[in-house]
Amino acid sequence: MSPKQALVVGASRGLGLVLARELTSRGWHVIATTRGDRPDDRLEIETLEMTSTEQLAALRERLTGRRLDLLFVNAAIDRGNTPIGEVPTDVFTEVMVTNALSPLRTVEALSDLVAPDGTIAVMSSEQGSVSLNTEDGYELYKASKAALNQLMRSYATRTVEDGRTKLLIDPGHNHTRLGGPDAPLDPEKSIPEVVDVLEAEARKPGLRFLDRHGEPVPW
């Protein structure tokens, strides 16, 4: 049997890179996108700056004829803990474009490569949960993840008849450049749990917002 095929968008470092390598360790063939050349004999590397519509279109053209069992989109930036009234407009735009608009543009551009019984997943966060937003801080980041969740829900509603699994994944607060040095989770331990969820949820149509244990995250 041929190995399952995955495309991990946003695998230059951090959670995306660990995810790509974990899938490979389980026998998947993984195409991983990075912002620059990053040789890795375990991965098939493609170059992509996700915020560039031109680069996204070029990637779609290069992947013509491929059939994916999993499309996983990972992207997030954080521009600090600033009250929203003090956030410059250009910073607001940068975070929203990177964290919400670009992931869904990527899903839209590449979804036709996903098999009818395949999975489309996006890395989200419980920080995007409106009902769990009971502590102050990081208002822009939270808003961007809430926007991501809403856009993914709109996409899932529009494509409800396609039969694909659609997932928003909260990996927890991990020790990465984004998560910071005091984060309680190690990606080498939490990401295998994420992959367990991806494999367990395969071929279950519809959209779900789940944590790394497969438990629902409140919207």
Token pair 């629902």 in the structure block, residue = 216
Measured distance CA(172)–CA(43) in Å, rounded: 25
pLDDT number for residue 58: 98
Give the range of the structural domain holding residue 175, as residue numbers without chain letter. Answer: 5-211
Q: Give the tokens for residue 170.
A: 């909260």
- 131 falls within a domain: yes
pLDDT (mean) for 32-61: 90
Q: What is the domain count for the chain?
A: 1
Measured distance CA(11)–CA(205) in Å, rounded: 26
The pTM for the full model equals 0.94
- 145 falls within a domain: yes
- 9 falls within a domain: yes
Asked if residue 65 has pLDDT above 80, the reply is: yes
Read off the pLDDT of residues 99-134 as tens digits, 9 standing for 90 and up: 999 999 999 999 999 999 999 999 999 999 999 999
The model's confidence at residue 35, banded by pLDDT at 50, 70 and 90, is confident
CATH code of the domain covering residue 178: 3.40.50.720
**What Cα–Cα distance (Å) separates residue 36 from each residue in 32, 39, 57?**
11, 10, 17
- 216 falls within a domain: no
Choose the weakest-confidence range: 4-8, 73-77, 177-181: 177-181
For the CA atoms of 58, 110, 211, 156, the dihedral, rounded to the nearest 10 degrees, stands at 140
The model's confidence at residue 34, banded by pLDDT at 50, 70 and 90, is very high
Read off the pLDDT of residues 67-88 as tens digits, 9 standing for 90 and up: 999 999 998 898 889 999 999 9
- 162 falls within a domain: yes
pLDDT number for residue 2: 82
**Per-residue exposure over 1-33, b if at least 16 CB sit within 10 Å of its own CB, e if not:** eeebbbbbbbbeebbbbbbbbbbbeeebbbbbb
DSSP codes of every residue in 63-132: TTT--EEEEEE-------S--GGGS-HHHHHHHHIIIIIHHHHHHHHHGGGEEEEEEEEEE--GGG-STT
- 147 falls within a domain: yes
- Tell me the CA end-to-end span of the chain in Å, nearest whole number: 39
- 91 falls within a domain: yes
- 217 falls within a domain: no
